[in-house]
Structure 1
Amino acid sequence: MSIKTRPLTLTLNNKQYGPLDVPEGLMMIDFLHEYVHMTGSRLGCGQGICHACVAIVDNPSGTSEEVRTCITGAHFFNGKKVRTVEGIAKVDEQGGVVELSAIQQAFLDHYSFQCGYCTPGFVNAATIFVEQLKRQPIAREDLEGAISKALENHICRCTGYVRYYEAVRDVVLKTPGLLKETVK
């Protein structure tokens, strides 16, 4: 008896992969870890609840969304453009990190983690949030609620929430164009 495979092709962190023969039932988290050696996304609960495993899918419309890789099969990503936490920072041609993203740097500056296990999921969620604000700024008075909504599905078992929220707030407040100008 053999394991049934199908070809999988995707763009991952701006690099083309495939076609690769991948078992039909393989979860994306296992593909990331075992086939392309990207271990930044973490297997937390294995049930899609904690969101430590999320990857970003960039849609053709220009929007992005989080997809939980522990409960989503690798073949769901066939033909898609995907980013993991490894693809958020700017890298050189050899793959070495040249500059962290504003979110990653803010998380470091605010010590926005304790054990760090959930951090990749929070980085991806915050990245999508900032990208959404670039397309559609919000009023300053709506910022706290918007941050809560953007991060609400992510679970931190060490209770690092306050610092995650502070880091995201800091990035938004320091990045021109993310908040609507108020007219006085």
Structure 2
Amino acid sequence: MSDAAIKLHVNGREVTVSADDADMSLAEYLHERLDLTGTKVCCGIGVCRACTVGLRYRPEALMEKTLACATTVSTVANQHVYTVESLAQGSRLSALQQSFLESFAFQCGYCTPGFLMAATAMLDHLRQYGLPADRLDEAIDTWVGGNLCRCTGYIKYREAIRKVAQAQLKGGAGS
């Protein structure tokens, strides 16, 4: 890596990363340098997906899901990273967070940020492209099916995500 600092945006805020930190994992950087500890690291090799964050190449681009434990800071230079901390507006939870809460869609909660961020990326794509209602479960499987939950809360996660996605597809409150 060169001696030059790099810039990126995290939760809407521009961040300057020193050259010394450029090869640090994104998850470690978020925790250690920005004190954003909502992104969890479990396996450390991108298999469990607890470390999922959102990534946009430009602010107006569609959100993609990214594994923060397996991504170096330098690979997201000049991009926009979103962590679970970005979802709520002050003390007001996002529709997805509220649905998780109302559906009791977590037990220990460790994997919840990864599920939330993967589902947030899915909802961003649904907002742009739509989806026939009969393909919603398939979309949920595609976007969050690889996320692991040691407490086996998959049914509740799917129910919470489906509720918000259905409302969004109908142009309702989850939009």
* TM-score, normalized by the shorter chain, greater than 0.5: yes
How many residues in Structure 1 have an aligned counterpart in Structure 2? Answer: 170
What CA distance in whole angstroms lies between the structure 1 residues aligned with 2:129 and 2:150?
A: 32
Aligned partner of 1:73 in structure 2 is 72
What CA distance in whole angstroms lies between the structure 1 residues aligned with 2:83 and 2:45?
A: 19
Same amino acid, percent of matched pairs = 33
**Contact 1:10-1:78 within 8 A present in 2 as well:** yes
**Contact 1:138-1:178 within 8 A present in 2 as well:** no
Aligned partner of 2:139 in structure 1 is 146
Greater strand content: 1
Aligned partner of 1:46 in structure 2 is 44
Q: What stretches of structure 2 of length at least 5 have no aligned partner?
A: none
What TM-score comes out, normalization by structure 1 length?
0.86
Cα distance, 1:64 vs. partner?
A: 1.5
**Structure ID, larger Rg:** 1
What CA distance in whole angstroms lies between the structure 2 residues aligned with 1:130 and 1:89?
A: 15
Q: What stretches of structure 1 of length at least 5 have no aligned partner?
A: 91-96, 180-184
What CA distance in whole angstroms lies between the structure 1 residues aligned with 2:65 and 2:45?
A: 15
Cα distance, 1:24 vs. partner?
A: 4.0
What SS does the aligned partner of 1:22 have? helix
Quick check: 1:104 aligned with 2:97? yes
Cα distance, 1:173 vs. partner?
A: 1.9
Aligned partner of 2:33 in structure 1 is 35
Cα distance, 1:177 vs. partner?
A: 4.1
**Contact 2:49-2:114 within 8 A present in 1 as well:** yes
What CA distance in whole angstroms lies between the structure 1 residues aligned with 2:133 and 2:70?
A: 36
